[in-house]
A and B are shown apart, each in its own frame.
Chain A
Amino acid sequence: MNAINTGFGIWSPVVWTLLFLGIVLIGVAIRSLGRKDYKKDTDQTKAFLSGNEEPPAAELHVRGDHVYWGMTKGFSAYYDRIRAWHTGILSDYVGWFVGVLAIVFIVLALLR
């Protein structure tokens, strides 16, 4: 029934759906075994962080620049100057684009 034989195995959406539903049912069954007498909207529902207060979620997010902070620190002289140029004004960015494009065209014209 719409099964795809890949040569390494068979992928069937019906089997996959049944498997998914089975896993969900097992998950619901395990969850139903838990205690329901905890006090909602108290510390009993908060994460345990060695007794420390749970910081706001925004402070716990891992931002993209956390991955390459060493590089930005190493090249801070370059990044600090580049950041100053990022005014957030669209006309500035269009101006940079047109300017760089003009330089590229001039260089290409000279090389011909």
Chain B
Amino acid sequence: MALPVSFKKALWVFHVATGSCNGCDIEIVAALTPRYDTERFGIMLTGTPRHADVLLVTGPVTKPMLSRLKRIYDQTPDPKAVVVVGGCGSTGGVFYESYNVVGPVDEVVPVAAYVVGCPPRPEAIIDGVVKAVAALEQAGVSK
């Protein structure tokens, strides 16, 4: 599937917290501040997955968030990329095999890029989003 024009003009990102401690969420917000200013690249947060190109998922997937993450992923139009931010979403982190955790994000939805760290720096988050889009573009070219 070739990437639509919207990917080249502006990358809209939807942020999903599936059970994080909010450390990664704060770093995502920091990436939007004037210091990092992701909007100069056209990257901006959107209020609904139906307008999003990329899902930024933070935290391990807790049991109450399982159906919600699946539904949000299904509601995001194709083509889409999922970027996991933080160690908990990537591997389960300190919540690995916790009684109320389903598992890392890639056990629920396919993931394009992992940004590890506790929490990762805003530069790493921006780099992860760019790499996910590059992977999508590569997949679009190869098809």
Contact = CB atoms under 8 A, between A and B. Distances in A.
Interface in A19-78: 35, 37-39, 42-44, 46, 48, 50-53
Given A44-B50, A48-B49, A35 B77 contact: yes
Interface residues of A, number: 13
Nearest to B49: A48
B68 A37 contact: no
B23 interface: no
Contacts of A51: 16, 65, 67-69, 71-72
B66 to A, nearest CB: 10
Interface in B48-106: 48-50, 65, 67-69, 71-72, 74-78
Contacts of A43: 71, 74-75
B4 interface: yes
Contacts of B22: none
A39 B65 CA distance: 24
A35 B49 CA distance: 14
Contacts of A44: 50, 74-77
B59 to A, nearest CB: 14
| A38, A44, A51 — most chain B CB neighbours (10 Å) | A51
B138 interface: no
Interface of B: 4, 6, 16, 48-50, 65, 67-69, 71-72, 74-78
Interface of A: 35, 37-39, 42-44, 46, 48, 50-53
Given A37-B4, A48-B50, A53-B71, 5 more contacts: A43-B75, A44-B75, A46-B75, A50-B68, A51-B65
20 contacts: A35-B4, A35-B6, A35-B77, A37-B4, A37-B77, A37-B78, A38-B77, A39-B78, A43-B71, A44-B50, A44-B74, A44-B75, A44-B77, A48-B48, A48-B49, A50-B68, A51-B67, A51-B71, A52-B68, A52-B71
